[in-house]
Chain A
Amino acid sequence: MVFRIWALFLIMFSASSNAQALELGDSIPDFVMASENGAPKRLSEHVGKPVMLIWLDDCDGCAERLIQWQYLAESRAVDGLVTWVIWQPEEGYQAPWSRLPILRYESTNKESWLFRPNPAVMLISPNGTLDHIFLQDLDERRSEIAGVLNDWLQKKQWLQEGIK
């Protein structure tokens, strides 16, 4: 019995560690998620464009937290940046309002995945690889992230590496 519990624990641990196994330079797995404020979005349909994913943590109508991110994203849209916010609803939670697409993660959706730990910000190059990831204290680190985002979009590092 104890062995079974340990085996179950190990399986659960390995499954959760797989979910966190993304590293810089990895190809981001595709997903499609329903949107709170528009049509569903599929990541693979945006190959060829730089993408910023903002993974929210616990958020019940947290619109004010998104305002500065929205301004940042909109100011870089001219560089072709596509920005999506990913929100995981809990019982009784209200979706945050934003002009950015708010994608809803649902565990029943087999074609989606949830990144943990969150909150997190990912910068995904047009060839679909993870170029930068920021974890923890995102609101405090917004200016740092904005700087990295600026350099990343200006240098267009993916052009030097070649889009695979």
Chain B
Amino acid sequence: MRLLYSMLLIVTSMSVYAEKSEEISPVSQKAFSVKQSVLQLNRDLYQLEEDLLSPATTQASLFFSLTGNEFFEPYSINVVIDNKSPIHYLYTERQVSALRQGAIQPLKDLNLGPGAHTIKAVVKGIDNNGKSRELVMEKEIEKNDQPLYIELNIRDKKEMQRAELIISQW
């Protein structure tokens, strides 16, 4: 009999708890949906800010990488686009080591309007004989209404026993 009473008590309490949780659930669901909309709004605002500050029509990014690199070790890079303020960066031994292992450095995010732009890059460093060398490249690039990614890449030119600087875009 006692067992029957206690089971009845447990079943009743469980049903009350279930009712309560059913009562709470619409409120918590509402709170959850409000939280979700706040997060979504935050995302939209961030996207809007990104679009306003850097719309796809003017969005461009500059990257730097090394391929092979038996004949050159970069110490610094200087990039000038359309004679505007230069982008300068110094490379320590550790950074060069990372680049040699395949790292691609995001050098700078830019705002470039659609049309032709002149990019001039000068990379200073040493060659495989320890002598100071400069790799210079000037190129005209075309920006359309899509984001532009520019990669400055140093690669070995084995037949010439030296490195060369290449500018590619995609």
Contacts and interface: CB of A to CB of B under 8 A. Distances in A.
A111 B90 contact: yes
A39 B88 contact: no
Interface stretch (B9-17, B33-41, B47-55, B91-99): B91-99
Interface of A: 32-35, 39-42, 45, 108-109, 111
B88 A40 contact: no
Interface in B85-110: 88, 90-94, 96
Nearest to A112: B90
B31 to A, nearest CB: 41
B73 interface: yes
A102 B76 CA distance: 16
Interface in B69-85: 73, 75-76
A40 B94 contact: no
26 contacts: A32-B90, A32-B92, A33-B90, A34-B75, A34-B76, A34-B90, A35-B75, A39-B73, A39-B75, A39-B91, A39-B92, A39-B93, A39-B96, A40-B75, A40-B76, A40-B91, A40-B92, A41-B92, A42-B90, A42-B92, A45-B92, A45-B94, A108-B88, A109-B88, A109-B90, A111-B90
Contacts of B88: 108-109
A132 to B, nearest CB: 25
B41 to A, nearest CB: 36
A31 to B, nearest CB: 10
A65 B8 CA distance: 96
B85 to A, nearest CB: 11
Contacts of A33: 90
Name, among A35, A40, A42, the residue most crowded by chain B CB atoms within 10 Å (CB to CB). A40
A33 B90 CA distance: 7
Name, among A39, A40, A42, A111, the residue most crowded by chain B CB atoms within 10 Å (CB to CB). A39
B15 to A, nearest CB: 57
B160 to A, nearest CB: 24
Interface string B144-158: 000000000000000
Name, among B91, B92, B96, the residue most crowded by chain A CB atoms within 10 Å (CB to CB). B92
B114 to A, nearest CB: 30
Contacts of B96: 39
A39 B88 CA distance: 15
Contacts of A39: 73, 75, 91-93, 96
Contacts of A41: 92
A45 B75 CA distance: 16
Contacts of B76: 34, 40
B147 to A, nearest CB: 26
Q: Across the A-B interface, give the 3 residue pairs with the lowest CB-CB distance, nearest first.
A: A40-B90, A39-B93, A42-B92
Contacts of A34: 75-76, 90
Nearest to A39: B93
